[in-house]
Structures are given as C-alpha cells and as structure tokens.
Amino acid sequence: MKKKYNPEMPSAGYSPADLEALRASNITPALAEVKMCRFDSAEDASIFFARELDYIKSKSYDKVYPEFTALNHFPITHEVPEGAETVTYYSYEKTGMAEIISNYATDLPRADVKGEPTTAMVKSIGNSYGYSVQDMRASRLAGKSLDTRRSEAARYAADRKTNEIAFAGDKKHKLMGMLSTDNDIPLYTLSAVDGKTSWKDKSANEILDDINGMVGYQAELTQDVERADTLALPPAVFIDISTRQIPGTGFTVKKFLMDNAPYLKEIVSAPELSGGNASTNPYGVNVALMYTNSVEKFSLEIPMAFYQYPLQNRNLEVIVPCEERVAGIIMYYPLSALIAVGV
C-alpha cells in the first residue's frame, strides 16, 4: 500500500541535497504559483517534494527480489573501496606435508600455501529514473505520494545486471562469474544413459549416482579437503528431484539427499542455470552448480551498493541518477565449487 502524505502533518525527513537542488530549479516556483496545489511558497513546495523523494529512495532500498539467486544464495562482500578500478586477489592451494622426525631434527618438511594472483576490474552499473512537473503537480493535487515503481524499476535493473555478472561474468569488461569458462572451477562429466545425461531421462537412483559422483570427484581433486554444502539446480530439475520418489523408500530424491548426504546443507532452485537463460548460462544446456557457501571460499564483490544520487533538474522534470559498482565473483578456492553440464 502506498504511503499517503497529510499536508497538515508532513514527514520530517528529507535529503538536504535534494532540497537544495529543488530550491535552485525553476520547477518548484512554478508549482507554487498553481493555486490548486496549495503551496504557501516555493520553499514549501521544495520541502514537500524533497520529502517525497526521500520516501521513494528509502522504499527502493527496502525492496527485495528473491528470484535473483546470486544475491540471495552467494556470499556478498564490500571489501574493495568504492574508488578502486581493479582488485587483485589470490587463488590458494595448500602444499607440503608432515613427517615423523627425530630429536634435534633441522630438516623439517615445509608446509605452505601457494597463491596465484588474479586481477579483476571494478565496473559501474548505472541507470536513472525521474518525474515530470505534471507528475509532481498531479501527486500534490491527489494528495498521494509520487509513484515509487520507477525507483523500484531502477533498483531491479541494477540487481538484475549484478546477478547476471555473478553467474556469467562479463568477458569484455574482465568481470568473472561462477560459470565463466576461465574461472578454474572444475567440470564434472555426467554419466550418459542411452547417450543422454539429463536427469529427466534417468531414474532416481541414476540421479543419486550422479550427485554422489560429483561429491566424490571434488573429494578426489582436493584429497577430501573441500566439501561443498550447496547444490543449485535449474527450476525444472529442482522440481523433478523434489517430486520424484526413489522406488520402495517413500522418499523423494531431494528429501533423501537432505536427510542422508553428509555435507549437503541446501538444495536451491536457480533459474540462471537453465539452458535457455543465455544471459546467465553460457553453456546453452541445463547446468548444476555445487559449491561451498562461505565467504572464505568465494564472494560476489560489490564495492559500492546501489546508490541514488541527489536529483538533477532537466527541462520539465527531475532526474535521479543511480549507480552500483561491481567486481564480479572473487574465487579464492576454485576447487570448492564444481560444475556439471547437461543435467
């Protein structure tokens, strides 16, 4: 429900920067001259619309869009300064071993961590929204707040782009995603039944064999150091394993996994992994993504969260520029994740 403003009891909060921009424009003096708008002065009009914009900005910050898997199920960090143009991080691999030693030994085996540096770019995502003089005039006459859907659309667009980068990256701007072909996350080869690897063409037990194979492959690659706790699947595949029963058990595949898989904590539906979602899935077929949901392993780095600048006057409207800065996926331990193509 939209918030309504009582002209007699206006909201107390507003952005001083927005207020100054309105004062410097010719918009509010013109509105103040319209008798039906019931403004005592241009100053009164400026304060009123500054409060309106403050409410709109707050509302768009509060809006949550649960369909963006990366923003809801990936670790998110804000460690890089907003002004940074690049960020260098290291992908780590533990090396060395320990041995039984004698007293006074001086040739102790050395354990270490080998790091490979990677430099990622930090890029800005931008858009804007605005209101015309007529929008502001109609809002005042009707006694209603300005339409918040424009600011929410700007927030949605920024979140959508960030989510796309988190999955597919942006090769042109050197941003890494979880499914980028050069991110060093290993690929698991699914077993084929009659030449098909898709789970809809397999039995429940064959699906379990694939998942066990993925877990075993990661354990083999890392000597059981990495143990993924989250499995993300395309919606159709997620629904299938959520309803497909294992014969003779009364358990669905998903229920059986959640009750019995030793390390798996969560199985989530991710539309971004569907084969037809070209903006987030570069493989063109359904993909399963298994990963450890920990900021110690990887993160979606957002140096500057969605920010709305003070309004700008442009002809017969006010414009609110919006910006977000993104560095993409920072992958510290690539072997903590696994990709299976063709589920």
pLDDT tens-digit map of 242-252: 999 999 999 99
Share of the chain above pLDDT 70, in %: 87
Asked if 322 contacts 306 with a C-beta cutoff of 8 angstroms, the reply is yes
Q: Mean pLDDT score of the chain, rounded to an integer? A: 87
**Rounded mean pLDDT, 25-45:** 75
Q: Choose between 237 and 184: higher pLDDT.
A: 237
pLDDT tens-digit map of 99-126: 555 555 556 555 545 667 888 999 999 9
**Rounded mean pLDDT, 173-194:** 93
pLDDT at 196: 94
pLDDT tens-digit map of 39-97: 777 888 788 888 888 888 888 876 666 679 999 999 999 999 999 999 998 776 654 44
Region of poorest pLDDT, from 26-40, 90-104, 194-208: 90-104
Q: What's the pTM value of the predicted model, to 2 decimals?
A: 0.85
